[in-house]
Amino acid sequence: MSVEQSDDLGQLLSILDLERRGDDLFIGRNPPRVSTPRTFGGQMLSQSAVAAARSLTRGAPPVHALHAHFIRGGDVHKPIEYHVQRFRDGKSFANRQVTAVQDDEELFTVLVAFQDTLAGLEHAVDIPQAPHPDELPTMGEQFAGYEDKITTFVDALHPIDVRFANDPSWKLHTAGRSLDHNRVWMRTDGPLPDDPVLHVAAMCYASDTTVLDSIITTHGLSWGFDRLFAATVNHSMWFHRAFRFDDWLLYATESPVAAGGRGLGSGRFWTREGALVASVTQEALVRHFPRKS
C-alpha cells in the first residue's frame, strides 16, 4: 500500500461523496472507468450505506447490519438516486431503508440497522491459517499471462489491494484443480479518512468481490474460461467490531450450497490479530453453459 491514495481509491472515495438533495434523497455517481454494462453491486451497497448513515440526525451509532436485495441492473452511464426511509431513531438504535432508483425504476433496496456497541457475551471462531499478505503476489501479478481471458477483472476499477492466499479461479482452472474455499487479504489501496462510515462503505464495496468464487471453484470452473453467468440476488452483512479497512483484513469465503440455479457464498473478515469483525452472506443466480465438444 502506498502512502498516498491510488487514483482508483480516489475514484471510490469520489463516488462515496454523495450529492445531497434534501433530507432523504442522495445522488450517486458512477466512476469514470467501468468494465461492465451493469452497475457493480458493491458500488450500490457502499453508496447506500453512506446514504443511510448521512441521514442520521441524533448522533451516529455504528452500522450493525444491512440486508440488500437486487432487483434490476443499473446503467453505468446514468446517476442513481438513493431514497432513504426513516424507520426508527432511538437513543441507541436507528433503522433505515434505502432504495436505489434509476429512470423511475427500483434497482436495489437495503435495510440498514445502526446500534451502539454494548457490553455482553463474546466469542468467535478462529481465523483460518493464511500466509502474511506481504508474502503474497499482487493482483497485477496474478493477472499476468491471463489478461486476454479475464479482461473484465483486469479493466475494472481496483481501489482495493487484494492478495490471494490461494490460487484464484483462473490459475486453479489452468492446473485442473478445484477448491471449496477462498482466502484473500484486503485493504484499500491507500489510507482512508478516519470517518468510520467510509471504512464500512469500503468493506461493503470489497465484500462483493471474490465471495462467489468458491461456488465455481468447487466445480473446477473459472471466470473467463467457462461460459458462466452470475447475478447477485441478495447480500447481507453483519458488523461485529470496529475496524479500519485501510489495514489488512482476511476475507475467508466458502459456498455451503448451490441449487436451483442459485449459489450461496458466505464469508468472514478477520484482522491480522485474529479478531472477527464482519460476516457476509450473498446469494446469486449462477448458471454454467458447458461448451459443446
> For the ranges 59-68, 204-213, 242-251, which has the lowest average pLDDT?
59-68
Contact 186, 162 (CB under 8 A): yes
Query: Does the annotation mark 116 as catalytic?
Result: no
Predicted pLDDT at 293: 63
Query: Does the annotation mark 208 as catalytic?
Result: yes
pLDDT confidence band for 193 (50 / 70 / 90):
very high
Question: Is the pLDDT reported for residue 119 higher than 60?
Answer: yes
* CATH architecture, domain defined by 7-117+136-288: Beta Barrel (2.40)
Question: Is the pLDDT reported for residue 274 higher than 80?
Answer: yes
Greatest distance between any 2 Cα atoms in the chain: 63
Question: Is the pLDDT reported for residue 199 higher than 70?
Answer: yes
6: its cell numbers: 491510488
Predicted pLDDT at 152: 87
Rg (CA), the chain: 19
Contact 214, 257 (CB under 8 A): no
pLDDT digits (tens, 9 = 90+) for 29-48: 999 877 788 999 999 999 99
Write down the domain spans for the chain: 7-117+136-288
In this prediction the pTM is 0.95
pLDDT confidence band for 6 (50 / 70 / 90):
confident
Kindly name the residue from 102, 109, 142, 232 that is annotated as catalytic.
Answer: 232
pLDDT digits (tens, 9 = 90+) for 157-187: 999 999 999 999 999 999 999 999 999 999 9
Question: Is the pLDDT reported for residue 275 higher than 70?
Answer: yes
Question: Is the pLDDT reported for residue 3 higher than 80?
Answer: no
Kindly name the residue from 8, 161, 189, 208 that is annotated as catalytic.
Answer: 208
Query: Does the annotation mark 282 as catalytic?
Result: yes
DSSP string for residues in the chain:
--SSPPHHHHHHHHHHSPEE-SSSEEEEPPPS--SSSB--HHHHHHHHHHHHHHT--S--PPEEEEEEEE-SPPBTTS-EEEEEEEEEE-SSEEEEEEEEEETTEEEEEEEEEEE---------PPPPP---GGGS--HHHHHTT-TTT-HHHHHS---EEEEESS--HHHHHHTT---SEEEEEEEESS---S-HHHHHHHHHHHHTSSTTHHHHHTTT--TTTS-EEEEEEEEEEEE-S---TTS-EEEEEEEEEEETTEEEEEEEEEETT--EEEEEEEEEEEEE-PPP-
